């Protein structure tokens, strides 16, 4: 009887461990790098209907409002969006997904975890995000980064743009897509510093920010 109880306990323990490690769903896609919380702001010069379509080289795992085959919204100059499918108000379009994209980590910045907030604020402001935009970015990412000893932080350009293409109609006059890829480090490393360019808003402007962790 004792032997039976021991075997039952052992089987239960193994099953519970596997459940914790794999989750309740089939999480094979979640083992891949995840593009976390890309959000899209639309700033037209006048109230207009805007169609936004995403061609992502991966699997979209979450969206808000629901993406389906694209978003159709009424966009206002202050950034307020009315989603035509549910007639609800939104501040931005949100999506998240997994992929096998290999990000370029050869140039960037090695920053102490405790200095992450100031670094992101300074760099994102320089690139061209408004206080509202960069504060929302920092609030989302800071809890994931500030307790690391160091973070290797890069801002992806062509690799991200080639794998997550946006089709927006009417076509915006200016578009800024900021996508951060970072890697936690246990010690400082030397790396070539990345050159960043400031962005100028003109006419109908689209802003996107997001990021991913690289292990």
Q: Is 60 exceeded by the pLDDT of residue 161?
A: yes
| Contact residues for 160 (Cβ-Cβ < 8 A; gap 6+) | 101, 103, 177, 179
CA 212 to each of CA 119, 153, 154, 163: distance values in angstroms, whole numbers, following the listed order: 17, 10, 10, 14
- C-alpha angle with apex 131: 191 to 128, nearest 5 degrees? 55
Structure confidence at residue 178 as a pLDDT band (50, 70, 90) = very high
Q: Is 70 exceeded by the pLDDT of residue 20?
A: no
Tens-digit pLDDT profile for residues 100-156:
999 999 999 999 999 999 999 999 999 999 999 999 999 999 999 999 999 999 999
pLDDT for res 5: 42
Domain coordinates of the chain in residue numbers? 32-213
The overall average pLDDT reported for the chain is: 88
pLDDT for res 116: 98
pLDDT for res 33: 58
Three-state SS at 89? strand
Q: Is 80 exceeded by the pLDDT of residue 18?
A: no
pLDDT for res 9: 40
pLDDT for res 128: 98
Query: For the residues 57-63, what does the mean pLDDT come to?
Result: 96
Tens-digit pLDDT profile for residues 22-53:
333 333 333 455 677 899 999 999 999 999 99
Query: For the residues 8-22, what does the mean pLDDT come to?
Result: 37
pLDDT for res 37: 84
pLDDT cut 90: percent of the chain above it: 82
DSSP 33-75: -EEEEEEEEEE-SS-EEEEEEEEESSEEEEEES--TT-EEEEE
DSSP code of 78? T
């Amino acid at each position: 009887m004792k032997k039976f109880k021991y075997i039952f306990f052992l089987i239960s323990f193994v099953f519970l461990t596997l459940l914790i490690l794999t989750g309740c769903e089939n999480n094979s896609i979640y083992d891949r790098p995840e593009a976390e919380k890309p959000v899209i702001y639309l700033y037209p010069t006048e109230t207009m209907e805007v169609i936004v379509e995403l061609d992502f080289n991966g699997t979209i795992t979450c969206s808000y409002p629901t993406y389906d085959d694209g978003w159709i919204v009424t966009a206002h100059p202050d950034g307020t969006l009315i989603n035509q499918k549910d007639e609800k108000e939104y501040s931005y379009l949100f999506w998240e997904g997994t992929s096998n994209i290999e990000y370029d980590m050869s140039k960037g910045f090695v920053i102490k975890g405790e200095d992450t907030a100031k670094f992101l604020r300074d760099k994102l402001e320089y690139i061209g995000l408004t206080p509202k935009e960069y504060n929302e970015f920092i609030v989302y990412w800071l809890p994931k980064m500030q307790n690391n000893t160091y973070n290797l932080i890069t801002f992806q350009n062509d690799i991200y743009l080639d794998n997550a293409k946006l089709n927006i109609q009417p076509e915006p006059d200016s578009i800024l897509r900021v996508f951060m890829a970072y890697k936690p480090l246990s010690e400082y490393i030397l790396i070539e510093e990345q050159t960043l360019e400031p962005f100028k808003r003109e006419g109908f402007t689209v802003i996107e920010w997001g990021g991913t962790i690289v292990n």
